[in-house]
Chain A
């Protein structure tokens, strides 16, 4: 699980072009949207694509994303449970 969280932090930084953010600056429970990393709706779409492409998870209901993308912790937990690759 900790490896997956590390991997997710690296992917979030790379895919969302967070040039000024280092991996160790993202805490597992930091909110990704709003006050935390300050991600927005376009980033949410990028994350949905990432789940599909890298972990084989298709979000049938986009509303699910609100809980899944709360933090790196919640993302990692969801991926562990649902991944197909």
Chain B
């Protein structure tokens, strides 16, 4: 028999001040096309000797992972596995390493950037930091990288192959990556105010970065935020197929659209692709409380980790912060939350959470 999977704690470093216990009480309102994270004081979390070789993504992840572990009250030796999703890994050091190869005519390559230039550096560094010799895996799959990591954890916990897993998603912003995406029009040309992203009426998104980690377990702790009911990803999905696929996803869980107390949507203000979200928001979920999050987190391959963080927080605190409300509908209690995300019409994901 499958075991239930609980999200026992959350950790986040994002473009909002999310590294503490708060829940979007004070929003960082900016007008930009690229948003860097609101960084914690890394020295509070990482010894300077260790931090000096850490790329930004590793630092963000270390803080996020430590907060998640602390939140769940789990010791380092209780973590059976570490699973991370990332679109680009430590792209900053990858860029520097490749630049060094070109600039120095394939000579004088230094080890530090090489060590950090792989996608699985974050999972590896966290494992080294906590002495975890268990399963260590990194999923790299564009906008469903985080979901792929969560799905792996979910299956292992259901089968009791592991009891407690640290799962996360991370991506960092770096100059070359940003300039490339500006060139191809994936980043908005004009700055947009945080709370006006959906009204921008332009194509492209506001890019950002972040690290979101969660302690998943098949044993519910007092710190529990939610139960992970189901998760499904789709590499391709046409607008016409979306509604039916969402309906089927819920049906497999014995639910209908009406049973959903809140839908969290990954709107990023890109007029070319936000139509996918409209299909659900103005269709089967038009009478459902709705929330959105990418105006606060910005867009990046693992931005759905922020959406997952928001959904978990809502279920735990039983309130929707005003800045993420998409409509004024309300429920007395929030029992079931559906998260839907996609990026540029590809790599769609559905995650279903239940109050625990």
Contact = CB atoms under 8 A, between A and B. Distances in A.
Contacts of B53: 17, 42
Nearest to A54: B108
Nearest to A44: B111
Nearest to B51: A19
Contact of B109 (A15, A19, A42, A49): A49
Size class of the B contact interface (CB-based, 8 Å): 10 to 19
Interface in A13-32: 15-20
Contact of B110 (A18, A38, A49): A49
A52 interface: yes
Contact of A46 (B104, B107, B111): B111
Contacts of A52: 107-108
Contacts of A83: none
Contacts of B109: 49
Given A18-B52, A19-B52, A45 B104 contact: no
B111 A45 contact: yes
B49 A38 contact: yes
A64 B252 CA distance: 67
B112 A20 contact: no
B104 A20 contact: no
Given A16-B52, A20-B48, A53 B111 contact: no
Given A19-B48, A19-B52, A20-B48, A42 B111 contact: yes
A18 B53 CA distance: 9
Given A17-B52, A18-B52, A46 B112 contact: yes
Contacts of B112: 17, 42, 46
A16 B49 CA distance: 10
Contacts of A18: 52
A18 B108 CA distance: 20
Contacts of A17: 52-53, 112
A35 to B, nearest CB: 13
Interface of B: 48-49, 51-53, 104, 107-112, 115
Interface of A: 15-20, 38, 42, 45-46, 49, 52-53
28 contacts: A15-B110, A16-B52, A17-B52, A17-B53, A17-B112, A18-B52, A19-B48, A19-B51, A19-B52, A20-B48, A38-B49, A42-B53, A42-B111, A42-B112, A42-B115, A45-B110, A45-B111, A46-B110, A46-B111, A46-B112, A49-B108, A49-B109, A49-B110, A52-B107, A52-B108, A53-B104, A53-B107, A53-B108
